[in-house]
Amino acid sequence: MDPLKTLVIATRNPGKTKEIRELLTGYPITVKNLDDFGPIPEVIEDGERFEENAYKKSSFTSRILGLPTLSDDSGLCVEALDGAPGIYSARYAGENATDAQNCEKLLKDLKGSKNRNAAFHCVISIAVPTGAALTYESTCQGVILETPRGENGFGYDPVFFFPEFNKTFAEISREEKSRVSHRGKALREMREEFDKVMKWIYLQMPLDDKFSCEE
């Protein structure tokens, strides 16, 4: 596996991998994910910010595999709840909570609140085995409804109303969501300068044979 032509996505989610692979079509890079490798220890995501957790995932995996690695960390921050569920978005209603249980808890915690402002946040981190990393981040503002609407998407999509579309994220297609979502915007920002990212990876990768003195 050529470390200068491989980008590992620190996920086992085939949807996420596909999205990034499609986004980077045309670049001389092969996108892999954790399922392309043997068993890898779990990263402990105990950071207090999205940036910290994204960096933990990318740098840990990159060190283990010796390959440039991209990870993302995202979640929902609700104004009236002082930013909760935030980094705890996936397990807001408990360790193995389902999406429906998380949404239900959110609606319960917001019951009676007039302030329904919320934002999805996404941080993308690309790290190399030395520990250096690049970061991209984006947000998407919306409003939390009082009852879920729509069947698409995942997580908090059915309760996240996006005023510009007059619909929840669970009532729009994957393509529509990707155009405006926190993750879509952060990923496109990265793609817009992916030539520079590849150059950065090249300069950062600790390879003995990179600058050969031999004829």
Instruction: Give the residue among 138, 153, 146, 132 at the shortest CA–CA distance from 187.
Output: 138
Nearer to ligand IMP, 19 or 66 (CB): 19
Residue of 36, 73, 99, 208 marked catalytic: 73
Q: Determine the Cα–Cα distance for residues 127 and 2; give it in Å rounded to an integer.
A: 16
Buried b (16+ CB within 10 A) or exposed e, 118-155: bbbbbbbbbbbbeeebbbbbbebebebbeebebebbeb
Q: What is the DSSP string of 2-44?
A: -TTSEEEES---HHHHHHHHHHTTTSS-EEEEGGGSS--PPP-
Asked if 89 is part of the footprint of ligand IMP (rule: CB under 6 A), the reply reads yes
Nearer to ligand IMP, 72 or 171 (CB): 72
Q: Considering only residues 154 through 213, tell me which ones interact with ligand IMP, judged by CB under 6 A.
A: 154-157, 169, 181
Query: Is 99 designated active site?
Result: no
Q: Determine the Cα–Cα distance for residues 177 and 85; give it in Å rounded to an integer.
A: 21
Binder of ligand IMP out of 8, 20, 76, 118 (CB under 6 A): 76
What x/- string results for residues 112 through 131 when contact with ligand IMP is judged by CB under 6 A? --------x-----------
Q: Is there a contact between 158 and 170 (Cβ–Cβ < 8 Å)?
A: yes
Asked if 153 is part of the footprint of ligand IMP (rule: CB under 6 A), the reply reads yes
Backbone φ, ψ for residue 155 (5° rounding): 55, -125
Report in angstroms how near the CB of residue 144 gets to ligand IMP at its nearest.
12
Q: Classify 68 as helix, strand or coil.
A: coil
Asked if 81 is part of the footprint of ligand IMP (rule: CB under 6 A), the reply reads no
Asked if 90 is part of the footprint of ligand IMP (rule: CB under 6 A), the reply reads yes
Nearer to ligand IMP, 100 or 203 (CB): 100
Binder of ligand IMP out of 3, 75, 129, 148 (CB under 6 A): 75
Per CB under 6 A, residues contacting ligand IMP are 72-76, 89-90, 102, 120, 153-157, 169, 181
Catalytic residues: 73
